[in-house]
């Protein structure tokens, strides 16, 4: 009979050696969300209320759209710094079309087309050899300048000047309810389901992951890497437009740089998602957890009256922690 120095394997896979690391990587973020909720609930009785929970849910929807857009390009090992400004210009396009007499469906389609077109331009520049960082940073400045020029230096476009009969259907998308559930939440979760199916249940999604894994191997496997990379940016631009339009339906207005703060938040949510459920891998469900983590954190800081400075400090720390844990998870793998 030979004795072995190897640790005995557990009969239960969950408690096999290294189970603590696996638990932290897969469920640590969810546990963190629960801890944050408990802390804020103790610090402020106004935080843990149904009204505030609904407010967090509504505020999360535009961020969810931009975070999904960011996650999609990050899956392909690219980046899009223009998503927040894309959201703004798409919202401005929708409101401008409504103010000029177009119907709600036509205006929304116009805004979505603007977002997708910006994504297409970004994608074309990237596949032509321009760095994604440089291409989307340049696009960000172009969009920002165009918004300021077309709005006379940043004047918001407001729908309150129109009769309610002209804006009722548009504002219902952001302010209405379906069976007691906010309409914007219904739309946001429907888009989330569609994106999840695209990323994990279609050929396009499989090719996206293949490009992110190794673009050269993907190309040698017969995948039209340039076409699918460009399509990924188009999808990201479309989702960015969805986020901007959601903001417009909820507030009844659109303004330059109205969604600029969502760029940092989408980065935080995406990188938090990379340490949730999988080891250092961008994934849709993890991003959803990251979105609610960021939204709860921002809401709690606001409820406590701590100000925007502490909000940015906490988000910056979250990025450092998320990136470090993602690297650690990849190294263990």
Q: Express each pLDDT in 173-184 by its tens digit.
A: 999 999 888 999
Residue 327 token pair: 């690297």
Q: Are residues 251 and 264 in the same domain?
A: no
Q: Are residues 86 and 176 in the same domain?
A: yes
Domain boundary among 196, 229, 259: 259
The answer to whether residue 183 is domain-embedded is: yes
Digit-by-digit pLDDT tens for the chain (333 residues) are: 444 444 444 444 544 555 555 666 666 677 777 888 888 888 888 888 888 888 999 989 999 999 999 999 999 999 999 999 999 999 999 999 999 989 999 999 999 999 999 999 999 999 999 999 999 999 999 999 989 888 887 788 888 888 888 889 999 999 999 988 899 999 999 999 999 999 999 999 999 999 998 999 999 999 999 999 999 999 999 999 999 999 999 999 998 888 888 998 898 898 888 877 766 688 899 899 999 988 988 888 888 887 777 777 777 776 676 666 655 555 555
In this prediction the pTM is: 0.87
Residue 3 token pair: 């004795």
Residue 264 token pair: 């940092």
- Residue 97 exposure: Cα atoms within 13 Å on the Cβ side: 22
d(C-alpha 208, C-alpha 68), whole Å: 14
Domain boundary among 237, 259, 281: 259
Residue 194 token pair: 């569609």
d(C-alpha 41, C-alpha 33), whole Å: 12
- Overall domain count for the chain: 2
SS3 of residue 316 by DSSP = helix
Q: Are residues 265 and 120 in the same domain?
A: no
Nearest-Å Rg of the Cα atoms of the chain is: 21
Instruction: List C-alpha distances in Å: 64 to 71, 122, 219, 265, 320.
Output: 10, 21, 31, 10, 21
Q: At 61, phi and psi to the nearest 5?
A: -65, -50
Task: Please give the residue range of the domain that contains residue 305.
Answer: 260-333
């Amino acid at each position: 009979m030979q004795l072995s120095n190897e640790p005995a394997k557990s009969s239960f896979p969950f408690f096999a050696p290294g189970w603590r690391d696996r638990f932290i990587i897969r469920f640590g973020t969810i546990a963190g969300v629960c801890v944050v909720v408990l802390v804020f609930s103790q610090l402020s009785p106004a935080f843990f209320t149904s009204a505030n929970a609904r407010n967090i849910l509504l505020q999360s929807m535009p961020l969810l759209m931009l975070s999904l857009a960011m996650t999609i390009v990050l899956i392909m090992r690219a980046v899009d710094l223009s998503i927040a400004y894309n959201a703004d210009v798409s919202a401005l396009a929708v409101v401008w079309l409504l103010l000029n007499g177009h119907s709600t469906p036509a205006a929304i389609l116009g805004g979505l087309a603007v977002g997708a077109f910006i994504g297409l331009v970004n994608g074309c520049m990237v596949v032509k050899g321009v760095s994604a960082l440089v291409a989307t940073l340049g696009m960000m400045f172009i969009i920002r300048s165009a918004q300021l020029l077309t709005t006379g230096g940043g004047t918001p476009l407001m729908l309150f000047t129109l009769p309610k009969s002209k804006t009722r259907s548009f504002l219902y998308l952001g302010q209405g309810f379906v069976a007691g559930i906010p309409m914007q939440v219904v739309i946001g979760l429907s888009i989330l389901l569609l994106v999840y199916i695209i990323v994990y249940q279609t050929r396009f999604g499989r090719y996206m992951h293949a490009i992110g894994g190794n673009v050269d191997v993907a190309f040698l496997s017969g995948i039209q890497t340039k076409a699918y990379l460009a399509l990924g940016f188009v999808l990201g631009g479309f989702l960015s437009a969805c986020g901007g339009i959601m903001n417009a339906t909820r507030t009844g207005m659109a303004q330059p740089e109205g969604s600029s703060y969502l760029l940092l938040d989408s980065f935080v949510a995406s990188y938090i998602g990379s340490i949730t459920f999988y080891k250092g891998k961008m994934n849709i469900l993890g991003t959803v957890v990251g979105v609610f983590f960021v939204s709860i954190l921002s809401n709690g800081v606001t409820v406590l009256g701590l100000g925007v400075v502490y909000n940015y400090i906490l988000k910056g720390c979250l990025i450092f922690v998320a990136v470090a844990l993602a690297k650690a998870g990849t190294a263990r793998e």
